[in-house]
Every structure is written in structure tokens, then in C-alpha cells.
Amino acid sequence: MKGATNVTSLTYTIKNVDNIVTKEMEFKGYQKNNSDEENMLLYKHVLRDGDLFESFNKMYKNPHELNELIGNSKNRTKWNVHEYKNSILSRKYRSKYDTFDFKNMMQINDLDCNFIDHINSNKTKPCKLIEDVKDKTD
């Protein structure tokens, strides 16, 4: 019997190119259970030159199928979403912004940090949830 795997990473970067500051937070989550089912989530939150860009890639894989959901949004407007079944595009659509709740998908409930607040400001203060960061982008 194979063992289960659960891997999570959170990366934060600041870049300054030609006086345009880009602040990026990237979450990666991966799970594999004993039945060879795999779940992967990649979520990016990028603030650049006053605009917020978000993207995600959510994938489910088992020995018989591969399902992938890819989306992007600018300034918290509707998501542009592509659904793939076994690597074949099955659907393209727009979805309300609130359709995808990444704080629940990422299962980050008690994140105590100073660096995430830098995504949207130069102030340093603690935050507790990813949604707190998103709410400050308005």
C-alpha cells in the first residue's frame, strides 16, 4: 500500500523593474491519497501598477481521468474559466468572482503574518486570513 502525501507552500516576492513594483503571493497545495487520487491547487495573487491579477489552476487526477480547472481575473471582476477533461477543453465560461473561495481551498485558517499585507500596502501589520488581503484591494 502506498502512503499518502500532503505538501503545501506559500511564497511571497516583491520585484521593482523600471520603478514598477510587483508584489506576488503564490500558494501551492498538493495531496495524494492511498488510492492514487491527486489534488493540486496553484493560486497566484499579483498586485502590479495598481491592478490586481489573480489566477488559479486546480487539478484532480486518478488512474482513469484527469480534470483541470484554470481561471484568471483582473481587479476582482468575473473569472475567465476553462475546464479540461483528460486534457481536452470541455468548457469555457465566465463565473462570478465569489464562485471560488481560495481561503477554504487552501485551508489556511490561522495565518499570522506580516508579509502578506505588503501585497497591498507598505504598512506592516498582522493578518489572519487570505480574504483579509483580498478585501483590502478595493
Has residue 119 been placed in a domain?
A: no
Residue pLDDT, tens place only, 80-127: 999 999 999 999 999 888 887 776 544 443 343 444 444 444 443 333
Beta-carbon neighbour count of residue 18 at 10 Å? 4
CA–CA separation, 102 and 131 (whole Å): 8
Q: Is residue 120 part of a domain?
A: no
In a domain, 85, yes or no: yes
- Position 128 in a domain: no
Tens digit of pLDDT for each residue in 1-60? 467 888 888 888 998 888 888 999 899 989 998 888 999 999 998 998 889 899 999 999
Q: How far apart are CA 84 and CA 2, in angstroms?
A: 28
Report the C-alpha gap between 131 and 36 in whole angstroms.
32
| Cα 133 from Cα 138, distance rounded (Å) | 10
Domain span including residue 53: 5-108
Rounded Cα distance between 112 and 127, Å, is 6
Domain assignment present for 138: no
Instruction: Specify if 116 maps to a domain.
Output: no
Contact between 127 and 113 (Cβ < 8 Å): yes
Q: Is position 114 within any domain?
A: no
Q: Is the backbone of residue 106 left (phi > 0), alpha (psi -120 to 50) or beta? A: alpha
For 137, half-sphere exposure in the C-beta direction (CA atoms, 13 angstrom radius) is 22
Cell of 71: 481561471
How many separate domains does the chain show?
A: 1
Q: With respect to residue 124, please indicate whether it lies within any of the assigned structural domains.
A: no
Angle at CA of residue 79, ends 28 and 5, nearest 5°: 20
